[in-house]
Structure 1
Amino acid sequence: MAKVLVLYYSTYGHIETMAYAVAEGAREAGATVDVKRVPETVPESVAKAAHFKLDQSAPIATPTELANYDAIIVGAPTRFGRMPSPMGSFWEQAGVLWMSGALHGKVGGAFTSSATQHGGNETTLFSIIANLMHFGMVIVGLPYSHAGQMSLDEIVGGAPYGATTIAGAQGQRQPSKIELDGARFQGDLVAKVAAKLSA
């Protein structure tokens, strides 16, 4: 049985919602799953003034615990085409794991959100994936076997590199059924690959 960590950063709750869908998919594949988040780096007064979602129930992760998992699926919204600084800072603190090769051969995946359909989803996935590859991880995306991402009937996220959602410029749009199904699909696939590699 694979042990999976869904590690996320969510400003307004969209990625938090996606994270629990990813976790649901991994559990359906038989994995043991923890959902944790990285610490907020914005001062609390600023976060409150900007209406950040501060009541998230997931516990805060520490970099050293990453080595305890067979797979790590990382979720973060886009910030100008790349992962946001709280997630980047978290991984920068994991240098000792990079030095020791503690994550070599473990499975990694990425999911994200953006305000618009062309607002940096894929480049943000790449920024997360590139980071995970530097730690020696094996990457699993969201293949086209999740056919929902090819829909032309509605606005929809999704990319072969990972699950995505479109949040809207004011955060007014929540993840759709297709997008949540994509997150579950990716969680399921990551867990299955991790189980095969750790067998």
Structure 2
Amino acid sequence: MAVKDVGVGVDNEEAPAVTVAVVYHSVHGHTRVLAEHLAEGARLVPGARVHLVEVRAEDVVAGRWHDAEVLALLERSDAIVLGCPTLMGSVSAVFKAFMEAAFTPFVTQAWKDKLAGGFTMSASQSGDKLAVLEQLAVFAAQLGMQWIGVGDMPGNNWSGGSRDDVNRLGSWLGLMSQSHADQGPEQAGSRGDLITARRYGERIARLTQRWVNAVPYETDRMTEHEARALSASLRSAGMEAAGTEAAGA
């Protein structure tokens, strides 16, 4: 199945519902791990129903992608998060086929004013990942969507930093992660990347609740010093502490 229902946010009995779809393509499984952590972060938000949607190579025929079930789900979603690996400085060919298949919601404006975000993975520290996030953001803009960036301060930019820091690659347009080329998906990204993915997913879901249902949202603000302290505390904490509320941020 291309679609996996991750479930509804915790303690959601009194919370209004929103739907967040995390749409991704993964070649070797590394980007899938990033998508799963982002989805888990979104699921921390009460009332958020989260779907993982895999764009598969086998759904591309003669260069064209089509999946009516997926397109119907995305039309019902309140937020759509887009992700794929960075390959040769661009989105993957399979994900580009998905993007081109969005011509119908483009002409009907079916996705207009939905919220959007993006993420990408590469083996190199840079790998020109910014080019992919820009492609995804332009795609969302053409569909009339409202883009949400990463809200965390940069990590690993000082002598006491670590690859396990939150936002260790210092990306704000969207989520960036890096995996070593000789390691499998079980070692995808760094711990800091996966924590950042969960925090980004939670941020998107909370802003979706605010956008759709006017649920109050208290903006998380911190100084660079406070951000460094947060990264240090999360290095020794469990992954369950990766959310903004659980981390005390």
Which of 176, 184, 190 does residue 176 from structure 1 map onto? 190
Q: Structure 1: 5+ residue runs without aligned partners?
A: 44-58
Q: Which protein has greater RCO, CA pairs closer than 8 Å, 6+ apart?
A: 1
2:177 pairs with 1:165: yes
Which of 4, 19, 35 does residue 19 from structure 1 map onto? 35
Counterpart of 1:35?
A: 52
The 1:81/1:140 distance shift into structure 2, 3 A limit, reads: same
Most deviating of 13-22 and 147-156: 147-156
Deviation at 1:96, TM superposition (A): 1.1
The 1:109/1:35 distance shift into structure 2, 3 A limit, reads: same
The 1:80/1:171 distance shift into structure 2, 3 A limit, reads: farther
Task: Give the SS at the match of 2:91.
Answer: coil
Distance 2:204 2:112 in 1: 16
Mapping of residues 31-180 of structure 1, within 5 Å = 31-40=48-57, 62-145=70-153, 147-148=154-155, 150=157, 153-155=161-163, 156-171=168-183, 174-180=188-194
Distance 1:60 1:149 in 2: 43
Task: Give the SS at the match of 2:51.
Answer: strand
Deviation at 1:195, TM superposition (A): 1.1
Counterpart of 2:25?
A: 9
Deviation at 1:42, TM superposition (A): 9.5
Amino acid in structure 2 at the alignment position of 1:112: T
Deviation at 1:168, TM superposition (A): 2.1
Amino acid in structure 1 at the alignment position of 2:80: I
Amino acid in structure 1 at the alignment position of 2:36: Y
Distance 1:41 1:85 in 2: 12
Deviation per CA, 1:51-86: give whole Å up to 9, x if none: xxxxxxxx9963343111000111100012221111
The 1:190/1:149 distance shift into structure 2, 3 A limit, reads: farther
The 1:42/1:61 distance shift into structure 2, 3 A limit, reads: closer
Counterpart of 1:48?
A: none
C-alpha contact (below 8 Å) 2:53/2:70 kept by paired residues: no
Distance 1:60 1:157 in 2: 36
**Identity across aligned pairs (percent)?**
27
Distance 2:25 2:81 in 1: 12
C-alpha contact (below 8 Å) 2:156/2:162 kept by paired residues: no
Task: Give the SS at the match of 1:102.
Answer: coil
Amino acid in structure 2 at the alignment position of 1:79: L
Deviation at 1:133, TM superposition (A): 1.1
C-alpha contact (below 8 Å) 1:158/1:179 kept by paired residues: no
Most deviating of 32-41 and 16-25: 32-41
Deviation at 1:170, TM superposition (A): 3.3
C-alpha contact (below 8 Å) 1:39/1:60 kept by paired residues: no
Larger radius of gyration: 2
Distance 1:185 1:40 in 2: 29
C-alpha contact (below 8 Å) 2:21/2:77 kept by paired residues: yes
Deviation per CA, 1:165-188: give whole Å up to 9, x if none: 111233455221110111111111
Q: Structure 2: 5+ residue runs without aligned partners?
A: 1-16, 61-66, 214-249
Deviation at 1:150, TM superposition (A): 4.9
Amino acid in structure 1 at the alignment position of 2:189: P
Distance 1:150 1:126 in 2: 23
Total equivalences in the alignment: 183
Deviation per CA, 1:122-159: give whole Å up to 9, x if none: 111111111111111100111234x5465663344451
TM-score normalized with structure 1 length: 0.83
